[in-house]
Amino acid sequence: MRHLVRYLALGLVSLSIIGCSPQTTETLPVDPAWLTAADIQMHFESGALTSEMLIQHYLERIEQLNTQGPELRAIIDIHPEALAMARERDAQRAQGEFLGPLHGFPVILKANIATNDGLPTTAGAQVLEGFTTDVDAELVAQLRAKGAIIIGKANLSEWANFRGQNSSSGWSGLGGQTRNPFLTTHTPCGSSSGSGVAVAADMAVLAIGTETDGSIMCPAAINGVVGMKSTRGSVSGHGIIPIASAQDIAGPMTRTVYGSALLLDAMSTYEARREYGIPLTEAVKAGSRVERVGVVRAYDQRFDGVAAMTQNIIERLRAQGIEVVEIAEWSLPNELYAAEIEVLIYEFQRDLNAWLSEFQSPAQAADMAAIIEYNLAHADQVLHLFGQEYFEAAVAVDLIEAEESYLQALTRGRELSSAHLDSYLVEQSLDLILMPSYGPAWPINHEDGDGFNFGTSTAAAVSGYPSLTLPAGQEGELPLGISIVGRPWSEALIFGFAGMLEAELGGFRQPQFIVPANEPN
């Protein structure tokens, strides 16, 4: 009723009342809370929901949850014209002008994605505070062209968690510490922390994260939402503050598989859409075409919830007639991790300096060396929790002298990761591989940094194979996710299967925003 009264007061809806025009029936408004992307599409079309109503709801949620109450600190910046843009989309719809499947949909972007709209692009770093660009990242231009409204930017692990060792996921100098909405003393994981928390807490229905290795998969799994890292090259990286172009990719973070498909359809390159074969939303509706999958059981002994989750999935798949191959061991060679870090360090200097130059960053952030100097000069504000070892290692690399070694590491890492996945997908004729995404969230600890238990994102991250995580279980109050990995360009297969699995398992569950009594808000 609160929503209905507000919308009547705003003149957004009109109702037929007994005694007035019995032949006229107007559509009653719907409560915008916790709507899925599919719900929103339906209510937009029926007229029961407007973009203005939806964005007003999210702005209120952000005000309520971001720096008040549980202080989730998921959002850094909000567009001051968000409601005006919503009214424009509503007016276009009323006049029969429809820009695309995201018409009127609000989207939150990770704060390392450039926008030409006055919103700062900062990677959460103090050295870039207030920095704006006059160029949209390519994926942002694509979203706008489909009718999306960029309403704000999400907090993240500063510099996408590649500044220094012993960092705490979800902390940035500009945004503070993002918190897990299920248990606020625990990590949201990262680096796309704010994007994951925003959709989990209903501050947004659609958000964009970026991944180099685990930065979508971990916060999606740990916050109980759907995250997608698609095939390397399927989404343009232009405009994203980089770590390394060999692995960086943006992807959707949403509450449902359908929402993820809707967003990825809109931001995929032309080549990717051609490779997919059909729109990914249609793949979700069509359902699973999978006959034989592998399920990794190597982490069952780590947590009771993980064992219960994998066992439940196996039983449900077999009940549907899907052949399941249980995989007892899952270990990647140390050589792969060594090759990966060599590539990331080399490309970090090369790619970040190129981005700073192209986007004309301020003098204090003219290049990586300048950023290091700034951080040292403001160490009491910037470096008080952890250092900048990755910056220092990257700036020390001689790009010419190290090029041959770097190229060898790049090739070797891709060979090892692809061979590992292909030993199952190809040699054992599996359609897909399923594995626990990450262990449950751990307590936030700014003294010692992250307390990672386990994660399984590296093989897909380095090889460039697609991977999707969706909520599939829990460890106490904390969500657990299952990752689905397939061959390159198998997104349609993954989405069809993921939609079926989501229906089987129940999908997203709302967080309880537990704040322990002995902890501050």
Q: How far is CA 264 from CA 140, 254, 348, 379, in A?
A: 12, 11, 26, 39
CA 250 to chain centre: 8
Q: In this structure, are residues 108 and 207 in contact, taking their beta carbons and an 8 Å threshold? A: yes
CA-nearest of 149, 147, 86, 77 to 112 is 77
Residue 489: partners with Cβ closer than 8 Å, 6 or more residues away: 231, 234, 272, 275, 276, 466
Helices (H) and strands (E) in the chain, counts: 19, 13
Q: For the CA atoms of the chain, what is the radius of gyration? A: 23
Q: Is 285 a catalytic residue?
A: no
Residue 415 token pair: 């060979």
Three-state DSSP state, 217: helix
Q: How many residues does the chain have?
A: 521
Q: Give the phi and the psi of residue 210 in degrees, each rounded to 5.
A: -130, 150
Spatial distance between the Cα atoms of 178 and 366, rounded to a whole number of angstroms: 28
Q: In this structure, are residues 222 and 455 in contact, taking their beta carbons and an 8 Å threshold? A: no
Q: Give the phi and the psi of residue 41 in degrees, each rounded to 5.
A: -55, -45
Q: In this structure, are residues 207 and 196 in contact, taking their beta carbons and an 8 Å threshold? A: yes
Q: Is 463 a catalytic residue?
A: no
Spatial distance between the Cα atoms of 229 and 59, rounded to a whole number of angstroms: 28
- Please enumerate, as own/partner, the contacts of 87-93 that have beta carbons within 8 Å and a separation of 24 or more: 87/51, 87/52, 89/51, 89/147, 89/149, 90/50, 90/51, 90/52, 93/44, 93/51
Spatial distance between the Cα atoms of 216 and 503, rounded to a whole number of angstroms: 22
Spatial distance between the Cα atoms of 233 and 424, rounded to a whole number of angstroms: 23
Which of 169, 195, 215, 490 does the annotation list as catalytic? 215
Which of 110, 146, 153, 229 does the annotation list as catalytic? 110
Q: How far is CA 184 from CA 187, 206, 441, in A?
A: 8, 22, 10
Which of 51, 169, 191, 490 does the annotation list as catalytic? 191
Q: Is 153 a catalytic residue?
A: no
Which of 283-312 are b and which e, b meaning 16 or more Cβ less than 10 Å from the residue's Cβ?
bbeeebebeebbbbbbbbeebebbbebbee
Residues with a catalytic annotation lie at 110, 191, 215
